A and B are shown apart, each in its own frame.
Chain A
């Protein structure tokens, strides 16, 4: 290998060569940019990693923002493909809201880097890690190794399924929106207050509906419900996955069946993106019931906002509890 010395002459020639290549492209870009941006008025463009964050941002942002999510509600948020089409959304964004706690570590960082958008780079004003507002459970104490499976070393990132956290997130997002668009700060605060009231009423209803089932035992596929079960007082006794992110193994499944029989647990909660084969066979052997709950807004067509998400899941759960009384 020869060592390169950066002579001035070389550099100038280099630039000449590259300019010829990209000159046309740049001229084209400049022309197109000029026509595209002014039409946007001053609506804040918000992009969120998941649909839940989008739903909450929409609630407090109202008509002053346009919001789009990257992952779909029925998609495993750990494994989203970093498609270039997402770059088209990100390059226009004024604000990027992430779930954080390394949930999106496998796909979001290269998208942010490639977006060419300085506003949403990590640490910039338009980058919001929403986990800072929420109560986070299961923060591992001590050393984390991958022998534990795909454990999130900063805590469990599935934190949005607790209405209390929903309120905290909405408040945090409203604050951030007000910071970016100070003229409408009062508007965002007002919308948060309205959401707060609405949520309090809804929460009373949900709590009352779930009250008879407090302490009921359930099994979940992935450990994605800690905040939900804490809020509604359910008791998770095991997981279909032997360890987070590791697909079910026969020996673990047999153990789980034994445990469910001993504990008289009849409910297996499964996210819509997991295969139902193992859960179904567990259900068949334990006389239990597989419940395909929704972890996120948009998991089904009619689950379009944060309230409907809880309505849907609680309705499913109650029916399942009644059926396995």
Chain B
């Protein structure tokens, strides 16, 4: 492609110099000069147009022959010839040079890279100090003193004109887990958006968030006690979402999801699938409204249902309400912002000897002091899903510093009063750093 630009520019330059010589040969009148100038201008326009086309060609990721071949074996017999012919035709139209096609389709660096997905790695390092001993039956998992908590590899690309794919693979210190891996069908009729794969379910707000976008180092007590902790409701299945028409200015969006029915584990287990029929379902309704151009309100209702780890016929129902108030003045959007958020969650868990009805919530506020500094706090209160008469309470203060958009240093003081009447005071430190192109997360 570079060669093509060079050839084009060289040709144009020659043309310019020839025309310049011609005009110098004759009597150079003002008219001639104007004509030459016009000519140079026209040629300049053509270069800019060509450059633009080249940029578009580069970013449009045209499928080189190497990529079309593996896709064709489904049609035995006629596989080899057509793809090559097609690609030559396609590129011949753009360049008109046959050798160009060969260079382009070979091991050419730019072309090969253009087909790669966006690759990113996000490192999440956590250190902890203070007394963090967790009582035997509490559902919190304690942080060790120093830990490379997670390395999240993201691979994201547009698959074809109808879908995009996103993979988030989470490397802990000991094992690898597919945090999310799904295809999103973006071109469905009637405005539907569907996802198939493994994904964080749409239950509430915190459950949908990756570690590195949380405003805290840990997750709220209500997440660990009722919604499966760090992994949350994260399962294989499919999801259908659609914006619902509503009065002007109001955004309503409904999501329905069906999963295999396995979420969380050990003390944090939420759903367990004993048989194929034990699928879990999640439904979410979101309402959003801009109050002013800088303030908005975001409300959600969530419901989840599935079988639990007690036995094949024991159900767990989860109900959630979430509310978020955001403020960000547009003229100073990179300096100041405020997010206030709360989630209330009710859990109904069938178990022996009797059903446990537990309630939990958190409320948090985060304020951006300046371009690089954020301060926040969170209040926690939650009963335990398996022993609803036990209530854990807690509170946190968080200070975050952003050296740039791509790294973040955070400190969190956390106080927890466990139901066993045990208090812990901890200081958590976190460094998050991001490599490569990580796609933006939904708002």
Spell out A's residues near B (CB within 8 Å): 1-2, 4-5, 7, 9-10, 13-15, 17-18, 21-22, 25-26, 28-30, 32-33, 36, 72, 74-76, 79-85, 87-88, 91, 105-107, 109-110, 112-118, 121-124, 129, 131-136, 146, 149-150, 154-155, 168, 245-247, 272-275
Bound Cα distance A79, B253 (Å) = 24
Bound Cα distance A4, B326 (Å) = 40
7 CB contacts below 8 A, A to B, read A2-B260, A4-B260, A91-B191, A112-B186, A113-B164, A116-B186, A134-B52
Q: Give min CB distance, A193 to chain B, whole Å.
A: 16
Contact in complex: B48, A134 (CB < 8 Å): yes
Q: Give min CB distance, A297 to chain B, whole Å.
A: 15
Q: Give min CB distance, B179 to chain A, whole Å.
A: 13
Q: Give min CB distance, B297 to chain A, whole Å.
A: 11
Q: A22-B254, A134-B48 are in contact. Are A85 and B406 (CB under 8 A)?
A: no
Q: A110-B442, A154-B55 are in contact. Are A247 and B371 (CB under 8 A)?
A: yes
Contact in complex: B240, A75 (CB < 8 Å): no
Nearest B-chain residue to A107, judged by Cβ = B440
Spell out B's residues near A (CB within 8 Å): 45, 48-49, 51-53, 55-56, 59-60, 158, 161-162, 164, 184, 186-193, 236-238, 240-245, 249, 251, 253-254, 256-258, 260, 262, 273, 276-277, 279, 281, 283, 286, 288-290, 293, 296, 298, 326, 328, 330-335, 371-372, 404-406, 437, 439-443
Contact in complex: A29, B48 (CB < 8 Å): no
Nearest B-chain residue to A90, judged by Cβ = B243
Q: Give min CB distance, A12 to chain B, whole Å.
A: 10
Contact in complex: A83, B52 (CB < 8 Å): no
Interface of A, secondary structure class, is loop
Contact in complex: A123, B186 (CB < 8 Å): no
Contact in complex: A150, B404 (CB < 8 Å): yes
Nearest B-chain residue to A25, judged by Cβ = B254
Bound Cα distance A72, B49 (Å) = 29
Interface of B, secondary structure class, is mixed
Bound Cα distance A88, B248 (Å) = 9
Q: A116-B188, A132-B55, A135-B48 are in contact. Are A83 and B258 (CB under 8 A)?
A: no
Contact in complex: B440, A82 (CB < 8 Å): yes
Q: Give min CB distance, A137 to chain B, whole Å.
A: 11
Contact in complex: A129, B286 (CB < 8 Å): no
Contact in complex: B55, A123 (CB < 8 Å): no
Contact in complex: B258, A273 (CB < 8 Å): no
Contact in complex: B331, A18 (CB < 8 Å): no
CB-contact partner of B439 in A75, A110, A154, A168, under 8 A: A110
